Amino acid sequence: MILEEIRHLMHLRYLKIKKETLNMPPRFLNNFYHLQYIIHEGSNCLVHSNGDDFLPSDINNLRYLKLTNDYISSIFGIGKLKSLQELPRFYLRDMIGYRIGELENMNDLRILGIYNLENVKDAEEACSAKLRAKTRLTDLTLCWSNTHSRNIDLDENVLNNLQPKYCLRNLSIWNYIGARSAIWMYTVHLIFYLEKVKLANCLEWETLPPFGQLPFLKSLELSNMPKVKWLESKFNGNDKYRAFPLLEVLHITKLKALEDWFEAGVAAEDACLFPCLIDLVLHKCPKLKELPSLPPNLKSLRIEKTGWTTLNFYSNSNPIPLETLKVSDCQKITSLHLADETARLNALRYLTIKNCPNLISLGEMQSTNNCHLILSCLSISDPSVLLMEPLRSIDSLEMLSIMENDELVSFPNEAEQWFLRVGSSLSNLEFAKLESLQSFPSSLESLSSLQILSFCAVLMLRELPNLPPSLKTLRIWGCHPELKERYRRIAGSDWNKIAHIPRIHIL
């Protein structure tokens, strides 16, 4: 065995095992006095016996330990690895050798994830982790395993006593049921250097820390926090500031009580709101007010299931750098003012408008505006939006997806001319999840650049329209059995109509 051949390499520092299971007495590692890295990438774990005898107690130099399937948490007394730098998943148990106190002397940790925090009995036990002594810790994840039948006060006390050092860059908190932020999260120097924050499934949390004033924060993700009412509060005594000065990514999901961007009495000038924001996602925030203006560097805006009635494109940028806009499942929205700003939206390439049943306008084209949209991809559920400006006079489009509309039976007559307008540029056309659709515009045959055509779950479709000779790929998935039979390879009655297409997939 190879391991037998290397057992005398006392100065070995790096040990990497691929694929095969490592069957050896754990004390074999005693020979590697200077071992610093153990990596096992196989499907079977390095830990062959019980975790309590996996590593000898005197292997003090180990800095990095990577095992498959999180088996590192089965190691009894992980705290003996005082030089370990990464412990991304430490699952606590209510038994000796697996409690949070194991972390007490692991002061070289840079990455730490503590899971099953419900197994911490009180504030004193939380203190035993001594996170404040870990001066190199930059990445911290704190996770409770469930959100039911727990003591809110205990959760708050535990979080208060898991105070890290000021060097923290990334912070994630999952399933916390306390109503308040930890006290240390309001201490400026302790969170000053944060670059990424993620809070998820914190069902009772009401008031967020003042993340908007962190000068290095680049990414903020908030998910399933139904009692949060505003995004930003403030440090005491600081009334004027640039809100989220370096933030690039903001994802807000399932904050059902979120009403405003700022706490009452807190405000920021439009020019100081999200000055560096690039990616904004708002999902299931039915009460949230519309942004006063688009952030000046915003490139991607995705809005889903909000209560907005309109979307304006007020911006101090000219041109507006927005590249991707997705608006879906917004039941109250009646207008998107795209046409008003077509001249400044010349970076827009990806547009989605789906399941907005009350949408009646995309704005009004200015009489002096001769600019037209040039899109790479357009996804819609209602073909009537194709007849609204600025889509009505679109200059170029590469891919069109029409999907998720159970009421659509046929296309309006005006759609014939629209398809002819984009015929020279449209190369990819998709129809999906259209349960009632039975017919298509005859102008599809004239799409001279079309190369890919897909039908997915178009359940009532029994016969294909006439297809353009340019077509290279035809996909038919989950459609009417009669359609599949008619175009079955070689034996189908209409196979000859599609036999010239190089790639055909019918499932």
b vs e for 177-207, b when ≥16 Cβ sit within 10 Å of the residue's Cβ? bbbbbbebbbeeebbeebbbbbbbbbebbee
| pLDDT for the residue numbered 313 | 87
Question: For the residues 353-379, what does the mean pLDDT come to?
Answer: 87
Under the banding of pLDDT at 50, 70 and 90, the label for residue 507 is confident
Q: Percentage of the chain with pLDDT > 90? A: 61
C-alpha 166/C-alpha 172 separation (Å) is: 15
Identity of residue 48:
H
| pLDDT for the residue numbered 401 | 98
Rounded to the nearest 5°, which phi and psi values hold at 470?
A: -75, -10
Contact 301, 280 (CB under 8 A): yes
Contact 341, 312 (CB under 8 A): no
| pLDDT for the residue numbered 29 | 62
Q: What is the 3-state secondary structure (H, E, C) of 208-268?
A: CCCHHHCCCCCEEEEECCCCCCEEECCCCCCCCCCECCCCCEEEEECCCCCCEEECCCCCC
Kindly report, residue by residue over 466-496, the tens digit of the pLDDT. Answer: 899 999 999 999 988 998 899 988 888 989 9
E-only strand ranges, 59-105: 64-66, 86-91
C-alpha 83/C-alpha 164 separation (Å) is: 18
- 476 forms bridges with which residues in the sheet? 455, 506
Residue 68: which residues within 8 A CB-CB, separation 6 or more? 40, 41, 42, 43, 44, 45, 46
| pLDDT for the residue numbered 326 | 98
Under the banding of pLDDT at 50, 70 and 90, the label for residue 279 is very high
The two three-digit tokens of residue 259, written as one number = 């009403």
Q: What is the DSSP letter of 102?
A: G
C-alpha 171/C-alpha 191 separation (Å) is: 9
Over 90: is that where the pLDDT of 103 sits? yes
Indicate the average pLDDT of the chain. Answer: 87
Three-state DSSP state, 198: strand
Rounded to the nearest 5°, which phi and psi values hold at 52?
A: -75, -10
Under the banding of pLDDT at 50, 70 and 90, the label for residue 2 is low
| pLDDT for the residue numbered 231 | 87
From 44-53, 94-103, 354-363, the region with the lowest mean pLDDT: 44-53
From 29-33, 205-209, 381-385, the region with the lowest mean pLDDT: 29-33
pTM: 0.90
Q: Percentage of the chain with pLDDT > 70? A: 86
b vs e for 15-30, b when ≥16 Cβ sit within 10 Å of the residue's Cβ? bebeeeebeeebeebe
| pLDDT for the residue numbered 73 | 77
C-alpha 42/C-alpha 147 separation (Å) is: 34
Question: For the residues 283-301, what does the mean pLDDT come to?
Answer: 92
Residue 355: which residues within 8 A CB-CB, separation 6 or more? 328, 329, 330, 381, 404
C-alpha 178/C-alpha 325 separation (Å) is: 35
- Listed by start position, the domains of the chain span 400-507
The two three-digit tokens of residue 313, written as one number = 């494109």
